Amino acid sequence: MIATINPATGETQREFPALSSAAIEAKLNLAWTTFHSYRHTPWADRARHLQKAAEILETEKREYGALMTTEMGKTLPSAIAEAEKCAWACRYYAENGERLLADEPVPTNASRSFVRYQPLGPVLAVMPWNFPFWQVFRFAAPALAAGNTGLLKHASNVPQCALAIADILHRAGFPEGAFQTLLIEANQVDALLHDDRVVAATLTGSEPAGRSVARASGSQIKKTVLELGGSDPFIVMPSADFEEAVSTAVKARVINNGQSCIAAKRFIVAGGIYDAFEKRFVDRMRALKVGDPMAADTDVGPLATSKIRDELHDQVQRAVAAGGRLLAGGRKIDGPGFYYEPTVLADVPRSSPLFHEELFGPVAMLFRARDADEAIELANDSPFGLGSSVWTRDESEQAKFVDGIEAGQVFVNAMVASDPRLPFGGVKRSGYGRELGVWGIREFVNVKTVWCK
């Protein structure tokens, strides 16, 4: 079902029918024909449209923020900040896109040799609900800057965000066919990937969805970028600023109501400070205010769907059954809406399946490590490798973590965050490819060698 169901109340507010095959065909045609003219638009026009999109996002951030909160439950201030971040990405590519894709001379024995970056065509973006604007703009801004056209299959629970994003880009001046939202179900994606007019795909979401899109794209020899799950470690060593580490740990766990791929999920703390950390962390998690995501003083809003809450609760129960200690929370909150108590688990056995699973909600797992080597070993004992945060003022330890952790990102004395200037992505089952920065804009281009005698 493609619908807006307010997670704060559980009420269905709007439903949308999935597009018919004929409507999809019309949109595919438009994406294809538009690509052949849009790819020749002067750079200045693309940059102007991106600047205008940034302006619209900033001017109307409260309306868009409220829409995100209504559809998926993130707190209103964080939703407004998300609209601002999208504006930042649009501006970054407006200001830097031309430079990032300029011809690149490579000296050889030719009289002239260089690399030219050219757009590929219509790219399908399959996106998740958790950052309903940001996930889309971090694909759309570089893709449009590079001269590609985009087709968005957004998550079924954020249809109004999906429509709003296409509307913003059209009002900003991009032609209608440059970016289109397809309100379709997940089972309609495969056919799109088998259509010759879709030349590549990017998916942010779960492992099963990633596998399915990669399989279909692979069968058609089409490039994919996959941004999948994560179970980021947050490592605290004795030399860390303890108070800052604890307060950032709580923030890094409950950001976006706990539903962020780069939220810290496994807290690995050096033995000497473990007990003090556990106590302070548990106290802080218990003190969080769970409630209406529209209210200014709410720390944690509801989970996005009833199903997500059920799955999270099942994981917590399995952790306890396997021998994990429940230090806080562990219950669904009664009443309307999909609220869950901020929860802390400790000593979840490494032999239990949960140890290797992603917890997509406000549930933290704490672990004790003897030293930096054991912390790295625990951190790397995960199928995922997205982000990581390490807290130490010891420079040799910092170097050890930067080198030893298997992840797409290592943040030292800070929580993991995306930034339009830096690459974002993972290793292992967190996916492949990179978004943002120069790396993101060059994912969907033909890297053409030119050699002239």
Q: Kindly list the catalytic residues.
A: 227, 261
Please identify, using beta-carbon distances, which residue of 311 and 347 lies nearer to ligand NAP.
311
Q: At its nearest, how many Å lie between ligand NAP and the CB of residue 305?
A: 9
Q: Nearest to residue 126, comparing CAs of 50, 193, 78?
A: 193
Q: At its nearest, how many Å lie between ligand NAP and the CB of residue 173?
A: 27
Q: At its nearest, how many Å lie between ligand NAP and the CB of residue 154?
A: 6
69 and 76 Cβ atoms separated by less than 8 Å: yes
- Calculate the CA dihedral of residues 160, 32, 445, 408 and round it to 10 degrees: 30
Q: Which amino acid is present at 247?
A: S
Q: How many helices (H) and strands (E) does the chain have?
A: 14, 20
- β-pairing, 343-346 vs 363-369, is parallel
Q: At its nearest, how many Å lie between ligand NAP and the CB of residue 229?
A: 3
Q: Which amino acid is present at 398?
A: Q
Residue nearest to ligand NAP (CB): 205
Binding site residues, ligand NAP, CB under 6 A: 126-130, 153-156, 185-186, 189, 204-206, 209, 212-213, 227-230, 261, 358, 360, 386, 426, 430-431
Please identify, using beta-carbon distances, which residue of 189 and 254 lies nearer to ligand NAP.
189
162 and 150 Cβ atoms separated by less than 8 Å: no
Please identify, using beta-carbon distances, which residue of 219 and 449 lies nearer to ligand NAP.
219
Q: Which two tokens stand for residue 19?
A: 């597009």
Please identify, using beta-carbon distances, which residue of 134 and 274 lies nearer to ligand NAP.
134
Q: At its nearest, how many Å lie between ligand NAP and the CB of residue 385?
A: 10
226 and 214 Cβ atoms separated by less than 8 Å: yes
Q: Which two tokens stand for residue 258?
A: 């706990």
Beta-bridge partner residues of 346: 325, 366
Burial of 398-422, coded b for 16+ CB within 10 Å and e otherwise, reads: bebbeebbbbbbbbbeebbbbebee
